[in-house]
Amino acid sequence: MTKQIVFALTLLITLGIFGCTAKRIIRFFMLTKPAFPVKDFSKRLVVVFTVAIGQTKIFRRPVIGLFHALVFWGFCVILFGSVEMVVDGLFGFNRSLKILGTVYNVIVASGDIFALIVGLSILIFLCRRLFFHIQRFSGIEMKHISHYDANIALTLIFLLMVSLQAMNISYVDLQTANHLTVSGIYPVSSVLSGNFLGFPSEQLNILYETFWWTHILLIFLFVNILPYSKHFHVFMSVPNVFLSRLEPLGKLPNMESVTKEVKLMINPDAAFQVLSADAEVARFGVKDVDDISWKNYFDSLSCTECGRCTSVCPANITGKLLSPRKIMMDVRARMKEKGPFLLKNGKSFNDSKSLLRTYISEEELWACTTCNACAIECPININHPTLIVDMRRYLVMEEGSAPGGLKTAFANIENNGAPWQFSPEDRLLWAKDITLKTK
């Protein structure tokens, strides 16, 4: 009974801390603008099973992609054991889900195997980060804290797998020593068991309880560290894939306010109704985080900082400042900086900073070719170009700021109805001396 009380209190503290964190993030979402309507659920589920569950984009790098996919699939299976531990801890059971029979045996066996696979994969990831210079792990946006963050998270995952394996081994030894039935099948732990069989039954029980508590407490710690880490994608990546834009990547979304103006020009009689309904004048494009859509912020929280987007960006490859990964990291950092003050002081708060220029320079934005290589490569379907274009829209439509070549084209469109520096009457002069032979 004491164990149940202690576990319940620990679980309540964990959920309380996580709830406060989730509440803060949800309130940040309330500062953002609407995005596209979420519909076509069947198509979205297909995308989830293809991209998130199937990890298809990860396999573009086959070797390391396989290890990452194994870690993801392993977490999905091991999650079942974590749920069972919560049930056991609250109600005082031991292997409570064994009533599932064959299904339980299959899941437990898979979890036992994956604990070893995930542990070895994490060691490989750590070695790559510590001892190999992987180019996409570096960049101006990747500060020392980013590397420490990744190493801490990977170390925690490794300790989770070690404690899980040790718990399974001690459980098999404890049941064997007491001549009791082992619930579930443990292919790896059964091979490694026997190390504790020389211990008295009481000591075996203490070992099992120690590893059990170590594993569950590491889970609780990991859950509350994740929202402050790049590994928040453990929670956010699958929902982000579900919320992917389903339109072709090359299709840029229209600005609703501009579309409305065009419709008003087509039907002036509707002007009064529209203007009275929308009294507040909206800002064109994105200047700061309170101008972005909820999907932009969701993307920033989901970003794994893997650098795949930046590694294929033609602008970045040719030495320009643009890094799609940096754009997402800057959105997340700016919301963390400004969000609390917006919640406290209202949307009128101004700290003389902004996402544009303070975090992201004009040079970065205009380097983007909107080729969508970053969006194609992103393993969780983040769409970087839509945000970049929205920030460029602010520069052009609110400030009239653009590179010289674009300004010339804009002026020609305004004066001549086309990007070229010729009046409409002179456009066909090039063909005046051309004669066509007819039969």
Q: Tens digit of pLDDT for each residue in 352-399?
A: 999 999 999 999 999 999 999 999 999 999 999 999 999 999 999 999
C-alpha to C-alpha distance for 200 and 178, rounded to whole angstroms:
10
Q: Cβ atoms within 10 A of the Cβ of 300, count?
A: 24
Place of tokens 């979420």: 38
Place of tokens 């210079």: 133
Same domain, 231 and 341: no
Q: What is the structure's pLDDT at 271?
A: 56
**Token pair recorded at residue 241:** 């894939």
Has residue 390 been placed in a domain? yes
Same domain, 235 and 318: no
Question: What is the chain's mean pLDDT, rounded?
Answer: 90
Has residue 431 been placed in a domain? no
C-alpha to C-alpha distance for 348 and 8, rounded to whole angstroms:
43
Same domain, 233 and 286: no
Q: pLDDT of 208-218, one tens digit each?
A: 999 999 999 99
Same domain, 314 and 179: no
Same domain, 216 and 70: yes
Has residue 44 been placed in a domain? no
C-alpha to C-alpha distance for 42 and 242, rounded to whole angstroms:
10
Same domain, 215 and 97: yes
Work out the pLDDT band at 298, boundaries 50, 70, 90: very high
Q: pLDDT of 137-146, one tens digit each?
A: 888 888 888 8
Q: What is the structure's pLDDT at 368?
A: 95
* Entry field: residues in the chain: 439
Same domain, 123 and 67: yes
Element (H, E) at 144: helix 144-177
Query: What is the domain extent for residue 119?
Result: 2-30+61-242
Q: Cβ atoms within 10 A of the Cβ of 252, count?
A: 15
- Exposed e or buried b for every residue in 125-148, given b needs 16+ CB within 10 A? bbeeeeeeeeeebebebbeeebee
Share of the chain above pLDDT 90, in %: 65
* More reliable by pLDDT, 225 or 277: 225
DSSP state of 420: S
Work out the pLDDT band at 279, boundaries 50, 70, 90: very low
Distance of CA 420 to the CA centre of its chain: 43
CB 403 within 8 A of CB 366: yes
Question: Which CATH number fits the domain that encloses residue 202?
Answer: 1.20.950
Among left, alpha and beta (phi > 0; psi -120 to 50; other), residue 319 is left
Q: pLDDT of 53-108, one tens digit each?
A: 999 999 988 999 999 999 999 999 999 999 999 999 999 888 889 999 999 999 99
**Residue 86: how many CA atoms within 13 Å on its side-chain side?**
13
Q: What is the structure's pLDDT at 270?
A: 61
Please return the burial class of 215, using the count of CB atoms within 10 Å of its CB with bins 0-12, 13-18 and 19+: buried
Please give the average per-residue pLDDT across 111-120, as a whole number: 96
pTM over 0.85: yes
Is 286 in a helix, a strand, or coil? coil
Residue type at position 112: D
Distance of CA 258 to the CA centre of its chain: 30
Q: pLDDT of 26-45, one tens digit each?
A: 999 999 999 888 999 999 99
**Token pair recorded at residue 200:** 């008295």
Work out the pLDDT band at 314, boundaries 50, 70, 90: very high
Question: Which CATH number fits the domain that encloses residue 313?
Answer: 1.10.1060
Any idea which of 81-90, 108-117, 130-139 has the lowest mean pLDDT?
130-139
- Could you write out the three-class secondary structure of 167-192? HHHHHHHHHHHCCCCCCCCCHHHHHH
Q: pLDDT of 250-264, one tens digit each?
A: 888 888 878 877 777
Q: What is the structure's pLDDT at 268?
A: 65
- Exposed e or buried b for every residue in 311-350, given b needs 16+ CB within 10 A? bbbebbeeebbbbbbbbbbbbbbbbeebbeebeeeeeeee
Residue type at position 247: E
Has residue 425 been placed in a domain? no
Q: Which of 188, 219, 242 is the last residue in one of the domains? A: 242
Whether residue 110 has pLDDT greater than 80:
yes
Cα separation values, 424 from 181, 286, 291, 412, Å = 90, 34, 38, 11
Beta bridge partners of 356: 360
Q: Which of 220, 242, 264 is the last residue in one of the domains? A: 242
Is 155 in a helix, a strand, or coil? helix
Has residue 317 been placed in a domain? yes
Has residue 177 been placed in a domain? yes
Q: Cβ atoms within 10 A of the Cβ of 189, count?
A: 26
The total of structural domains in the chain comes to 2
Please give the average per-residue pLDDT across 1-17, as a whole number: 93
Work out the pLDDT band at 317, boundaries 50, 70, 90: very high
C-alpha to C-alpha distance for 42 and 375, rounded to whole angstroms:
22
CB 176 within 8 A of CB 182: yes
Please return the burial class of 2, using the count of CB atoms within 10 Å of its CB with bins 0-12, 13-18 and 19+: exposed
Has residue 424 been placed in a domain? no
Whether residue 48 has pLDDT greater than 50:
yes
Q: pLDDT of 170-215, one tens digit each?
A: 999 998 888 888 999 999 999 988 776 677 888 889 999 999 999 9
Same domain, 193 and 285: no
Q: What is the structure's pLDDT at 20?
A: 95
Same domain, 410 and 321: yes
